[in-house]
Amino acid sequence: MRIEGAVGLVTGGASGLGAGTARMLVERGGRVGILDLPSSAGAALADELGDAAVFCPVDVALADQVERSVVSVAEHFGRIDVCVNAAGISPAARVLSRKGELHPLDMFRRTVDINLVGAFDVLRHAVAAMSRNDPGPDGGRGLVVNVSSAAALEGQAGQAAYSASKGALVALTLPLARDLAIWGIRVMTVCPGIMDTGMLAGVDEKRRAALTDLHVFPKRLGRPSDFAALVASFMENELLNGEVVRLDAATRL
């Protein structure tokens, strides 16, 4: 898949890994639909990127908004070639706290609704649009990239909801690839480690240094550009399919 001329749909596209991907697509001659909350910086990013970008305000947990936004991007650009599901939340709570308080059930539901159900809802509408693309030389019509997490594999205390939702995305990878093979649509999942995004906002320098030290090599936090470069490699190498890739500098939590 050529990046030049390709149309991407990126959830969580206003910041962090999503914004890094949106910038990469436009810088390399593609176009992008940025999906994020109305309160996000999505409109400002789309203005910055120019005519090659469009912003669609959406809460991925709301099915009517998801369908409307995906259809809007497909109609605006005439197609969708790659869907990157980077929208997500990471609330923390123990199943039973030291004070004897139960994990809020609404928090668990909300996390699964956004990180898992929302991602699935977005991709099912996106692949419907991809199925209408003319096939490439090998029959390819599109690519889905789901953003999981190292917590899917090595969840920490307080991450029951987050790890469950992200672990499900890992488990979905191969079934999705098999389901969509008849349409020439590939599916890849990324498990980022410790990334320098909004989720680390407010973390002091001492804690940032400790997190950085967990990386085996290189000794730095991950960047949105690292993630975007990986998405670019997925797009260009069509033999990559049905796989989960860690992006974490060999960190093991």
Q: Give the integer Cα–Cα distance in Å for 138 and 171.
A: 26
| E-assigned strand segments in 58-167 | 82-85, 142-147
Q: Is 162 a catalytic residue?
A: yes
| E-assigned strand segments in the chain | 7-11, 31-36, 53-57, 82-85, 142-147, 185-192, 243-247
Tokens representing 90? 């990471």
Buried b (16+ CB within 10 A) or exposed e, 216-226: eeeeebbebeb
Single out the catalytic residue among 55, 77, 120, 162.
162
Tokens representing 222? 């991950």
Task: Please work out, in degrees rounded to the nearest 5, the angle formed at the alpha carbon of residue 35 by the alpha carbons of 114 and 246.
Answer: 60
Task: Please work out, in degrees rounded to the nearest 5, the angle formed at the alpha carbon of residue 222 by the alpha carbons of 225 and 56.
Answer: 50
Catalytic annotation, residues = 162
